[in-house]
Structure 1
């Protein structure tokens, strides 16, 4: 759900303003096993993570030195995609696998364009859900749903999601950095299709996916690090990410490295694109 910064790829350390841990860690949370959402939070400079998450992140950075760049690249794509959608008149957003909030939330970005924008965040990670609800308490134009995106029937039947979709107004669907947690037998392309079938024509969908195309050895070790966590990872090459967009009309520049998707003017990295995330936005027919 969170962008690492308000501009460029700078990481914001949010640990200074974290609430008391008892307010954002559900009692059933197993803090001894790394969670992908919390490892990601750490790589983005957040503070909603535990020793097991930080240890996993350290192992990942040993084999993938640009892990933080890749994480920031993905979050920056999310920011630009939401802004693009807002510029196209989208005021309703469904963020699946929304993650742990810090700063630069989807609703904040969307409301820069239209203060009436509404967002429903969906995640199954207990810390992500607990802190999202804490942060958004009292915001009547946002909702947080605890559900697994691999169960579209449950997600789409939730009252908050039904209320969001219960008009002919186009929706911005965010499926950012989620499908590399879905194995082939989970049918990622089929999941995309089930969500798209619930959206009005003209809706937009943003999808990003980690890949091993540029560092097969490093990413194999990342997958090994996460294999025994609750969130094993399944990296896919370009020709297996592209089918996720089969039912969408891709907008320019198509499916590309996340850093190359409509980059902000004047924001470039002297080291070039991070090379680790494919990303694109498509329009629902």
Structure 2
């Protein structure tokens, strides 16, 4: 087994974090992840492009937040570090920027901390974003981030893996309440709303494939996605299709909505 693979990893079950790494062209994935990802690509050949488009949104959002003076980031469900990570983007603008990556996937955390060795302003923590109190109480989160100053809470392409039974809206509200005024929440979320029928059909087939993995796929309506911003002031242009949020590239339209909100 590779040195970056924790002994606790179940190599028989696909991981959505490692599949996302595969879609982005990363190398921290296993045969079971690649086989499942390829099954999705057969249904939706644009999946790799969609992953890159989501990464581009994250880059645009982080740069926007840096321009607003934010220099602290809590990246929930961060996944496996790849090129263009939050700390790389933020610290290019402000070398003093601080980042905490949070993920439940052990490979993501192990590789993240290996990548961040020597960077005392960024750390990866293994925790479950569905338990905000536990996440917010971790020594790493409290040691790196100053909750008396604005923090950007990032939830890129992760909430659609949190089922309704785990009340993701309440979890996001808890993070919102924990940060001070002037903080932000930025997120992207899969949705089939407004998509043509062939995309809806493909989306349902993709969702069935995800049932084989460690997380089910929940594609919500724009109304439900907008609810994540309750108590926040939406940044223009509001909750929109992913490529429409302050575009600076020619990403294809994908079935995801995004937004950034500021805590007044």
TM, length-normalised to structure 2:
0.95
Post-superposition offset of 1:153: 1.0
Q: Deviations over 1:108-136 (max 9, x none)?
A: 10011111001011001011011001111
Are residues 1:51 and 2:31 paired?
Answer: yes
Structure 1 residue corresponding to 2:41, chosen from 43, 61, 69: 61
Partner residue, 2:88: 108
Q: Distance in 2 between matches of 1:111 and 1:127?
A: 24
Are residues 1:275 and 2:263 paired?
Answer: no
* Contact 2:121–2:144 (8 Å) recurs in 1: no
Post-superposition offset of 1:75: 0.8
Structure 1 residue corresponding to 2:180, chosen from 200, 224, 227: 200
Alpha-carbon distance change, 235 to 167 in structure 1, aligned in 2, over 3 angstroms? closer
Q: Distance in 2 between matches of 1:31 and 1:253?
A: 42
Q: Distance in 1 between matches of 2:224 and 2:261?
A: 16
Paired residue secondary structure (1:65): coil
Partner residue, 2:19: 39
Q: Deviations over 1:37-92 (max 9, x none)?
A: 01111111111111111111111111112111211111110010000000100111
Partner residue, 1:8: none
Are residues 1:184 and 2:178 paired?
Answer: no
Are residues 1:238 and 2:228 paired?
Answer: no
Q: Deviations over 1:127-168 (max 9, x none)?
A: 101100111112111111110000111100001212344442
Q: Distance in 1 between matches of 2:70 and 2:144?
A: 12
Post-superposition offset of 1:274: 2.1
Paired residue secondary structure (1:131): helix
Q: Distance in 1 between matches of 2:94 and 2:238?
A: 26
Post-superposition offset of 1:257: 1.0
The total of aligned residue pairs comes to 260
| Gap runs ≥5 in structure 1 | 1-20
Partner residue, 2:120: 140
Q: Distance in 2 between matches of 1:120 and 1:268?
A: 30
Partner residue, 1:248: 232
* Contact 1:165–1:199 (8 Å) recurs in 2: no
Runs of 4 or more off by more than 4 Å in structure 1? Answer: none
Q: Distance in 2 between matches of 1:238 and 1:166?
A: 32
Post-superposition offset of 1:268: 2.1
Are residues 1:159 and 2:143 paired?
Answer: no
| Gap runs ≥5 in structure 2 | none
Partner residue, 1:123: 103
Partner residue, 2:263: 284
